[in-house]
Amino acid sequence: MPLIDLNEISSPLVLRAYDYWKGKHRNDHLPARADIDPVEIPELLPNVLISQAQRNPFNIVYRLAGTEVVAMNKMDLTGKPLNYGIEQPAWRQYWREAYWLGCSERRPVFGADTYEYRDREHVNFEWCILPLAQNGVDVDMFFEIEAYAEGARPGRGVPVYTGEPSE
């Protein structure tokens, strides 16, 4: 469950999402949710999540989950809080810390993971959490992508991440 650096990412989908997000920056200001235009990124949409950051207490609520994310998680996360359905304490802490890092440091967070839950074999994927801020400063949402290994499908996993997005 490692967090990794951008230079360790091999997924074309993750790199494309990061480049798109970076291109939406305004000077030193983070892009806002309104800057993310689905028409500009049709190839990313099945793998995208949009989430909202809540404070006091800190939490994340998913506002949109792409069709590939829904299929691979075997559920629509839309409207669900962070860690919904994740029983392992280590995973729950991992995801909470990843979002907190993106929120508190106002920077992208990258990861490469494998998981075995929801009645499936291991599924390997790379991901990124990209902060958004309506006012350009205070993170209030995230633009995210999960890129699953080629051949990964709901109900079965793949042994090794190939660096290619699923079709």
- Where exactly are the structural domains of the chain? 3-148
Rounded-to-integer distance, Cα 154 and Cα 135, Å: 38
pLDDT in tens, 57-90: 999 999 999 999 888 877 888 999 887 776 667 7
Structure tokens at 87: 């029983």
pLDDT given for residue 155 in this prediction: 44
pLDDT in tens, 147-157: 987 655 554 43
Which of these CATH numbers, 3.40.50.300, 3.40.640.10, 3.30.450.20, 3.40.190.10, describes 3-148? 3.30.450.20
Q: What is the pLDDT averaged over residues 11-26? A: 96
- Find all residues with CB under 8 Å of 139, minimum gap 6, and list them: 30, 53, 102, 103, 106, 131, 132, 133
H/E element, 145:
strand 141-148
CB 137 within 8 A of CB 122: no
Q: What is the pLDDT averaged over residues 125-145? A: 96
Largest Cα separation within the chain, whole Å, is: 45
Rounded-to-integer distance, Cα 55 and Cα 166, Å: 34
Structure tokens at 147: 């890129």
pTM confidence score: 0.85
φ/ψ (deg, to 5) at 137: -125, -55
